[in-house]
Amino acid sequence: MPKGEGKVISQNKKANHDYSIEQTYETGMVLQGTEIKSLRAGRANLKDSFARVQNGEVFLHNLHISPYEQGNRYNHEPLRTRKLLLHRKQINQLIGLTKEEGYTLVPLKIYLKNGYAKLLIGLGKGKKKYDKREDLKKKEAKRDIERAFRERQKE
């Protein structure tokens, strides 16, 4: 977790299973008033969302932020495209990296930091089926080792 990170609102747990994340970027998001209130209530879903570089800017697609209950007519569209805030240097770097075959921008988690909603995006390369199976085997082996270690400490 980056230093000073606050409350985690939503995490994309499938991201590490489906992609090997090589780099991460902390971004801000352009939100409407009712969206931030809904986020603070923890009503967001990162499933099926993705980021894309368009016209020199980075946009987040398919992020579902539920409408705010007290928002009435000022409520937002739940699945609207949202602009991500990055430095120009980072955007230029992402443009070059995402043009390479197999790389994509994957939203990893949304969290609140100093009152602002932040999104952690990762530059990921899609895993093949055999890579996923290998990762599961490693994870199970690590779990078994930790379990054996804990049992040994009890004795």
Structural domains of the chain ordered from first start: 8-127 (2.40.280.10)
Q: Give the integer Cα–Cα distance in Å for 88 and 15.
A: 25
CB atoms within 10 A of CB 35: 26
Residue in this structure with the two tokens 């499938």, named with its chain if needed: 14
Altogether, the residues listed in the chain come to a count of 155
pLDDT tens-digit profile of 28-79?
A: 999 888 888 888 888 888 888 889 999 989 999 998 888 887 777 777 788 8
Instruction: Round to whole Å and give the CA distance between 121 and 103.
Output: 13
Predicted local distance difference test score (pLDDT) of residue 60: 92
- pTM score, whole prediction: 0.76
As a whole number of Å, the end-to-end CA separation of the chain is 34
Task: Give the pLDDT score at 99.
Answer: 85
Q: What pLDDT band is residue 27 in, cutting at 50, 70 and 90? A: very high
Mean pLDDT (whole number) for 10-34 = 87
